[in-house]
Amino acid sequence: MALRCGWRHLALVLVLFLIIQFVFYFKPEAIESVRNVPAKFNYGGLNKKPTPAVAEDTGDVAADPHHPSRFVAKTTRENAAFVILCRNTDLDSIKESLTELEEKFNNRYHYPYVFLNEKPFTDEFKNSISEVVSGTTHFGIIPTEHWSYPPWIDQDRARQEREKMAKNHVIYGGSEPYRHMCRFNSGFFFRHPLLAQYDWYWRVEPSVKFPCIIDKDPFKVLRENNKLYGFTISIKEYPKTIPTLWNTTLKFMDEFPNHVSNPNMLKFIQKAGTNGTPEYNGCHYWSNFEVGSLNFFRSDEYLAYFDYLDRAGGFFYERWGDAPVHSIALSIFLDKSKIHWFEDLGYFHGPLWNCPKGEAHKRLQCTCEEKKSIETENPNWSCIKEFIRTPN
């Protein structure tokens, strides 16, 4: 009888223990919430403050002194995400990019990834990507109105202009999808609902390389130094792709002088014209790599500039790229103190390199050749010297 009572007491204790565990495990704080993204936003202007960094303990420094994780022990993660525009057919090339990015940086931070495509991503693509990255993944479809002709564009004229450019061997001159991509990256990527919750973005493309350890968080570098945009490579644009972009920009500045910052960075992108009017020197930040503030692009100033360009039709009648559009806008609306050159962040996008030099090359275990950096190998094409001598 006593033995039977003992077993009953033991069973009762076990049941109570399981109930307590169940209640604790499923309490609201332990359940990850899903954020509902609103359909419309009020972003404010260029002075909107970013969300404070979210604390994350990344653990102890690795015992191996050569392991990349030795660069970060405990850190904070910014309200930021990687943004990747690609297609299902880019799977292998984007996996190569992300494998290296994870090894050199994100395996210590676990920043999320936002993938965008004008068509749905396949399950194979999603599953393969999720196996490579350490951060959460989000896959989105680009709205049709962001990847199509606006109603004011004459599509027959656009086709004829593409054919002319193709005959003249203008780079990507005959490509229709390339134009949609440039327009999307110029005016719409930052409006996608999957990016609504973030303050910062880092653009990543297929087939790029990160040849060095990235020892500092680029998002944190920008926020802590009150900067809004960062780049690795700056070069001159092909003039035949943007015949009227600068004149259209001058008209915008004449019509909206209140949007032009004082001070600004117009000296970075201007050269003396033949009739005394400043001309565009072609300098731009190569936007296949860029780290920046989403709120800059959401600002009234930038949206007014993009809308003005979009109405002019140059994304389709010419071949305006997002790199000069971003760069000219940054030069109009910001001063140099808001722009950062990530000189020590190793990067390659064929055929150009940004390779750290001197002590940084050794410290960051770079596998690139210092002399291959564009500002060293081809200083006349590079715009680094123009950036450096632009006054603050």
- Residue 56 lies inside a defined structural domain of this protein: no
- Residue 187 lies inside a defined structural domain of this protein: yes
Model confidence at 8, pLDDT cuts 50, 70, 90, reads low
Note the pLDDT of residue 75: 62
Residue range(s) defining the domain that contains residue 325:
77-389
What whole-number percentage of the chain has pLDDT above 70?
81
pLDDT above 60: residue 67 = no
Q: What does the chain come to in residues? A: 392
pLDDT above 70: residue 35 = no
> By mean pLDDT, which of 50-54, 128-132, 251-255 is the weakest?
50-54
- Residue 25 lies inside a defined structural domain of this protein: no
In angstroms, the Cα distances linking 94 to 85, 110, 231, 291, 297 are 10, 17, 20, 18, 25
Please, are residues 186 and 309 in contact by the beta-carbon 8 Å criterion?
A: yes
| Residues designated as active site | 290
Strand partners, 231: 341
Distance CA 100, CA 83 (A): 16
- Residue 14 lies inside a defined structural domain of this protein: no
pTM of the predicted protein model: 0.83
Note the pLDDT of residue 41: 31
Distance CA 154, CA 167 (A): 20
Model confidence at 69, pLDDT cuts 50, 70, 90, reads very low
Note the pLDDT of residue 156: 98
Name the H helices within 289-356.
294-297, 300-312, 314-317, 322-333
pLDDT above 50: residue 22 = no
What whole-number percentage of the chain has pLDDT above 90?
79
Q: Which residue do the tokens 């993944």 mark?
A: 137
Distance CA 134, CA 37 (A): 23
In angstroms, the Cα distances linking 312 to 131, 147, 149, 253, 270 are 44, 17, 13, 14, 21
Note the pLDDT of residue 351: 96
**CB within 8 A of 142, min separation 6: which ones?**
116, 117, 118, 184, 188, 192
Note the pLDDT of residue 301: 98
Task: Say how many domains are in the chain.
Answer: 1
Note the pLDDT of residue 16: 52
Note the pLDDT of residue 48: 57
Distance CA 94, CA 98 (A): 6
Residues 358-369 pLDDT 10s: 999 999 999 999
The CATH number of whichever domain residue 217 belongs to comes to 3.90.550.10
- Residue 302 lies inside a defined structural domain of this protein: yes
Q: Name the percent of the chain in helix, strand, coil, to the closest 5.
A: 45, 15, 40
- Residue 369 lies inside a defined structural domain of this protein: yes
- Look at 109 and 38; give whichever has higher pLDDT: 109
pLDDT above 80: residue 32 = no
- Residue 218 lies inside a defined structural domain of this protein: yes
pLDDT above 60: residue 39 = no
Q: What is the mean pLDDT of the chain?
A: 87
In angstroms, the Cα distances linking 267 to 46, 275, 283, 337, 349 are 21, 17, 10, 14, 27
Distance CA 287, CA 370 (A): 22
Note the pLDDT of residue 4: 46
- Residue 46 lies inside a defined structural domain of this protein: no
pLDDT above 80: residue 60 = no
